Amino acid sequence: MPFTPPSFSCLRADTLNLDDRFSITLGRYKIVPVSQSSASSSSAQDQVVPSALEILLARTDGVIHCKSDRATVKDAFTRLCTELRAILHEGKEDKCKQATQFLLGALLHRYFRLIKEYDKCNSYTSYFYSPFDERNCQLFLAVRKALGLSDEMPKDYRVQDLKKLDVTTVVTALTAFRENMKLNDRYLNYPHYADDPNFQPYLEQIISEQLLRNKGELQKFKAIRFVQSLVRNVDADLKETEATIKTWCRQLAKDHSDFKSLKLDVIEAHLKRHVESGPVRDKITDLLYTPMIENDLDSMDHSSFEFSLTKGAVDTATYTVVGGYALLLISRGVAEDPKLVFEINKVLIPPPSTERFTYKDMLNATYFVEQYMKYYPSAALDYDYFDDRSGFDTYLRNSLIRLTEKTKEPSPEGSEARASVSGY
């Protein structure tokens, strides 16, 4: 069966949930247990992230009140929690999500700093003295409890901890903590960090060490963030385009009541007079000359004309996002991970569909991405998966070349490969 993408609304929702679905597949670290983060009400999703922050704040209270004489450390957590509770009370999802990562990063920073501290002390310990053991440190125990780690601490507890604290969670949270502390020298507001000359270099060292654990996993989430940034941008641009079409079509009907008398050149001239120059006008102009409009113009009225333009805008948005997925699926970092390919296939070809996403489909969709970048050359996408914008532009061009060659291959596998094609 030929490939037909899901509706834009479904594609958008499933794309924005892709990181959560992939995280479940990988068994990643979660602050909120699954049973607590799921509910049947339509507003449940709005409550998930704030509840995660609330739970982490409550756990961190145990760090603040633990039986430790490290007063400056506890003071830093007290100040931080006071600030973040104000964000919790606002209840805004994006802010709560950022605050959760900030606090999680602060806890992870303390977790790894304490381990480093004890390891350093033990490096100087004489053979005649017992080594220092962080398992006897009340602050360390409280931090582990706040992180939701097991109370049982056998000799290999560090290995067990890192099985739960996956590299993506750790690096993402530590990076959020670092960036927040660097913003306007925020760390100076916390005496414990301000007075520690090793605060920033040790934090950088911890992040670098954690990055070495599993770079591949981090790359996969960068890939997901790219397509999520694409769908957010495309969605915002689509809303603007739809609103412009609606307003302009009303003006067109007012100025030319008899639609049957209109020709494309007259319609385009009217568009240029009433819609400011920019990507939206360029997109609408291109839509005028698509077969859906140009070939059927004689049979249209004002209502069907507006409907067709809007449908064309939605279809363009849909295939642009599909093109973003195509770019990922032919990259080795994604194509070689069957779990991520499985989740992407579920987004593009929801069960029980048996459609195929061929190289030709990929090529056509990738051209929509190229066109989108021409409309929006300054699009603020997350390009980290490709290193930067320049890397993305190069990858996009090479992908078009490679997919064009693939569509010329005579074998069925070359022209009708499923989305799990091998990358390069």
* HEC profile of 165-224: CCHHHHHHHHHHHHHHHHHHHHHHHCHHHHCCCCHHHHHHHHHHHHHCCCHHHHHHHHHH
Query: C-alpha 345: how far from its chain's center?
Result: 17
Q: Which of 54, 42, 33 is nearest to 97 (CA)?
A: 54
Helices (H), ranges, 91-133: 93-123
> Would you state the pLDDT for residue 89?
92
> Would you state the pLDDT for residue 412?
54
> Would you state the pLDDT for residue 411?
55
C-alpha to C-alpha distance for 217 and 199, rounded to whole angstroms: 27
Helices 167-182 and 199-211: crossing angle in degrees, nearest 10, is 150
Query: C-alpha 131: how far from its chain's center?
Result: 44
User: In this structure, what token pair is assigned to residue 123?
Assistant: 């490096």
pLDDT < 50 positions in the chain:
34-50, 413-424
> Would you state the pLDDT for residue 47?
39
Q: Which of 115, 104, 108 is nearest to 31 (CA)?
A: 104
Q: Which of 166, 158, 215 is nearest to 25 (CA)?
A: 166
C-alpha to C-alpha distance for 52 and 70, rounded to whole angstroms: 27
Percent of residues, the chain, with pLDDT higher than 90: 81
> Would you state the pLDDT for residue 123?
65
Give the pTM: 0.84
User: In this structure, what token pair is assigned to residue 394?
Assistant: 């190069």
Neighbours of 224 (CB within 10 A): 25
